[in-house]
Amino acid sequence: MSGPEFLPDLVPELAVTNLGASLRFWVDLLGFAVDYERPEERFAYIVLGNAHVMLDQIGQTPTWETGPLERPFGRGLNFEITVPDVQPVVDRLNNANWPLFVELEEKWYRVNDQETGVRQFLVLDPDGYLLRFSQSLGLRPLNS
């Protein structure tokens, strides 16, 4: 691989209907970079910091489909992607008139006897995969 030396232990591979459209969204709007591609297979491995994702166009190579693929894909899950600052991503999406599923918000979640804070928003990719971009606001004591 030409990209990062760090390889995560979990890398989702998303079945997509149009690799070109997905790359425009994931790379141009979200800020991912293509680490490597197999154009003949309509496949790309993309990276943003420590977030790694594989995109594989449906019907180009054998895929492991466990049932019919109907939009929105990925129902029942969201992918949280941590970035240092969510604002540039929101700005690119807004400039492209791409709708947000959940507008930018500040949320605090209980973790044992503390709370962890995030600035976050959610957006659907072209195939309906739900992505939650999050920026850490740190920790605070419970009930602050």
Query: Does pLDDT of 2 surpass 60?
Result: no
Mean pLDDT of 90-116: 97
Mean pLDDT of 128-144: 93
Strand 33-38, strand 43-48: pairing = antiparallel
Give the mean pLDDT of the chain: 93
Mean pLDDT of 103-127: 97
pLDDT value of position 48: 97
pLDDT value of position 144: 57
Strand order in the sheet with 114-124: 78-82, 130-141, 114-124, 102-111
pLDDT value of position 25: 98
**CATH architecture classification, 13-59+76-141:** Roll (3.10)
Taking only the tens place, the pLDDT of each residue in 4-40 is 567 899 999 999 999 999 999 999 999 999 999 999 9
The pair of three-digit structure tokens given for residue 87, joined into one six-digit string: 């604002």
Mean pLDDT of 57-74: 84
Quick one: CA torsion of 126, 31, 50, 103, rounded to 10 degrees?
Answer: -60
Q: ∠16-93-127 over CA atoms, to 5°?
A: 15
Give the start-to-end residue ranges of the domains of the chain. 13-59+76-141
